[in-house]
Amino acid sequence: MPFRTICIYGAGALGGAMAVKLAAGLGTGATISVVARGAHLDAMRKNGLDLFEAGSETPINARITATDDPSALPPQDLIVTGLKGHQLGPAAKGIANLLKDGTRVVMILNGIPWWYFHRDRQSPHAELQLEELDPGGRLWRLIGPQRVIGCVAYQGAEVINPGQVKLSNDGRFILGEPSGEPSADLEAIGALFSRAGLSITVTQRIRDEIWNKLTGNAAFNPISALTRALMTDIMTNPALAETVGKVMTEVRTVGRALGARFDSTIEERLEQSRHVGAVRTSMLQDLLAGKPLEIVPLTGMIVTLGRLVSVPTPISETVFALVSQLDRENQR
């Protein structure tokens, strides 16, 4: 196995779940470590990390090397980031300390990622850097987009207590090289994750998958934060459901202008959303926990990229302004 040392950098809900799955599924075939912080880290050090899979009341426990100081770990073969977009910049130096020749970095991100235009063949904007996502080009310079494996995750996860993560569904993960080309690293990482029990799909069009997920996230996340509403509440409120549809339409218009293809209609996405259940979005979870909100990759980028391709996004602009003000008030 070419990736024997694996660090989950940001082992919160989703990162923590992946750490347990990799540790339990790969056994002695790989050394798993995590970078975390706070009470969650303290609990991991004391009792290990518990993962409750969907529908299970009995956790999988994994004893994993856990630290808040990445310099305490050796360079890694593979890094998996469980951080949100606004958390990556401050973590860039710590991640860079774990790199060596050949290290790949699987970036699990919602929304538009900082590396989006690296080797982009779907639009005429290859290598464009997005200042809002990567101030001063810090990530581009310290980590490098050439190391990235893109990842889109459909996995509901929540930290229910320090050291305990609960999954709300079975989950699936889509991996792809930014170039769209097949690679030995991509194949090996997909096989490794599959061996650990993760449902993995490899794609040559990772940007399509980014936009497909963003269709929902750009609408539901900010609207749920603004209203404190669960998914069921949003979809049973005609005015909110109509607003969701309008945001989705703007997202797709911008995405198509950048070469993205979509695998369903807006009506089909709305119908799927009616069956999700009483789920709190990740942005609503962060709001209620008093944490900074992941706004720019999910909502701000629709506005920024809309301007890049001359697509008006008036509803997204309003939602972006409102949720940005909410975030400022929530952080006071």
User: Annotated catalytic sites, by residue?
Assistant: 213
Amino acid identity for residue 157 in this structure:
A
CA dihedral defined by 118, 7, 131, 295, rounded to 10 degrees?
110
Tokens 């080009």 belong to residue: 137
Burial degree of 196 (CB within 10 A; 0-12, 13-18, 19+): buried
> Nearest-CA neighbor of 147 among 174, 111, 110, 186?
186
Tokens 């006071």 belong to residue: 332
What is the rounded distance in angstroms from the CA atom of residue 91 to the CA atom of residue 294? 15
Pairing of strands 157-161, 164-167: antiparallel
DSSP 300: I
Burial degree of 87 (CB within 10 A; 0-12, 13-18, 19+): middle
Residue 50 host element (H or E): strand 49-52
- List the end-to-end C-alpha distance of the chain, in Å, as a whole number: 48
